[in-house]
Amino acid sequence: MRKLALLLLCLLAIGAAPARADTPQIEPTFDVPDGYRVVKSHELAPGLLQATLTRANPAEVVTLAVRTADSPTQLRVVLSNNAIAGPSPTLERTSSMCARIDCIVAVNGDFFADATGQPVGAVITDGQLLRSPNVKHHQLSEDATGVLSAGPMTWRGAIVPSDLQQLALTGVNVARNANDLILYTPAEGPATGTNPYGVEMTLQVVRPAGTIRLSKTALVRITGLVHGGNTPIPTDGAVLSGHGTMQRALEDLWARVQTGTADAQALLRLDTDPPVTQSVGGSPILVRDGHRWFPEEQRDLYRLRAPRTMAGWASDGSMLLVTVDGRQAGRSVGMTMDEAADLMIGLGATDAINLDGGGSTAFVRDGVVVNHPSDRAVRRDGETVVVKTPRPGDKVIGSIERPVAVALAIVGPRLESPLLGGRQVNAGLVVPLGAPGSPAGSTAALRLAHPEGPNTSATLMVLLALTAGVVNARRRRPAVSPAR
């Protein structure tokens, strides 16, 4: 029995040597810009690094993730609450979206309209076009081979009946305007949300079963036509909504189906150029071929220092997700758009794009916010309120994560401990503030301190003590107290 105990102890000690549950410090795999220093770096997964950089003058705190081109991890665009529109809340916190898909790291994505909470640009996730592109907006995209691109995106979609009188779509899950033909899928929400001035045709997907995917021709069945709007969207199909000339086109198609001139089955296809599997909107493009790309602007978005969220890639195919904290005097003041471009170039990016910033900027690891968002929870006149900038006399409680419309996440295999067989679990602090945007709809993420990983050494001591205790119990001896 003594030999067994020694063998178990040796195996535990050998297994503990390469343990990574505490995410050890490693050398950075990115360029460090002049004036910055690396204060933390953690390997989170094969080919995935997280780091924190600081600068003294002006004060800046930068959080970034670097994913190598050969990393087994994957990029994922995540839509808030799995819907473009639908019932409130339409927005969701980046941390909630990350936790929902069990992501490793995530940052907030596209800008969104304050009135509707809907993203400005296209949303494509896993080859599904959840929202069609905006001609005035850029996209950050990844194709099926993992190649990244940034710039405008064009698309096309059509329904082709058996009599080949094709109807071209003008949008997917966007507002229907005059003479539009919009396709509404279950990603829009439970219903189209349109006004009554048009007609809507319901479709059922016959094959391939499931969601309609880009570059895949779907066979659909035309099941009905109703005058009006806000038609329920079938979970196994879609709705075509037409106004003006496209209303008449849908009415004519329905008449041909009713008379047998056209079959009830038709072909539906969506394509993008370039063909991509993941895409999120952003603007402006910061860097192209290693040089600052956007024109000079006098808008506040460009000239004022603010929190920033950016994404880019290096010449070796590595991807960078970067956040810069801001509006925190003495700690991190934020960046102008020029400074943001210079930072990305300094980190080694040959190409980069700006995402939503300001109070939306959030860097999340394992579902927990690890940067310091700029919105603040304060005590004012005996109440707890969320503000953009505290006033004199406000008692600042902490940083508040703002709900957003879409997130950009990295998912996949994590580094695991051979001994403990588990991933790092972070603990965050939250405070109820009645703010919408999470699955519970009532909790705002309040970030007060950076989470740390579990104490591997302490856990090892417990396991060793337990093993020793089992062996000694079998020998009918008193239990040995664990070393402390």
The predicted structure's pLDDT at residue 416: 64
The predicted structure's pLDDT at residue 300: 86
Quick one: average pLDDT of 270-297? 95
Model confidence, pTM: 0.82
Quick one: average pLDDT of 71-100? 96
- Least-confidence region, from 3-7, 10-14, 124-128: 10-14
CA 130 to chain centre: 14
Inter-axis angle of helices 456-474 and 2-16, to 10 degrees? Answer: 170
Across the chain, what does the average pLDDT equal?
A: 84
Residues 6+ apart with CB under 8 A from 229: 176, 192, 193, 194, 195, 196, 197, 198, 200, 241
The predicted structure's pLDDT at residue 434: 38
Share of the chain above pLDDT 90, in %: 70
pLDDT digits 0-9 by tens, 131-149? 999 999 999 999 999 999 9
| 3-class secondary-structure state, position 49 | strand
Sign of CA dihedral 312, 313, 319, 323: negative
The predicted structure's pLDDT at residue 24: 39
pLDDT band at 309 (very low <50, low <70, confident <90, very high): very high
The predicted structure's pLDDT at residue 477: 33
The predicted structure's pLDDT at residue 291: 97
pLDDT digits 0-9 by tens, 414-433? 886 443 333 333 323 333 33
Q: Where are the domains of the chain?
A: 26-147+281-416, 154-273
Supply φ then ψ for residue 346, to 5 degrees: -65, -30
Quick one: average pLDDT of 286-305? 90
- Least-confidence region, from 38-47, 257-266, 384-393, 456-465: 456-465
Higher pLDDT, 309 or 472: 309
| 3-class secondary-structure state, position 349 | strand
- Indicate if the pLDDT at residue 359 is higher than 60: yes
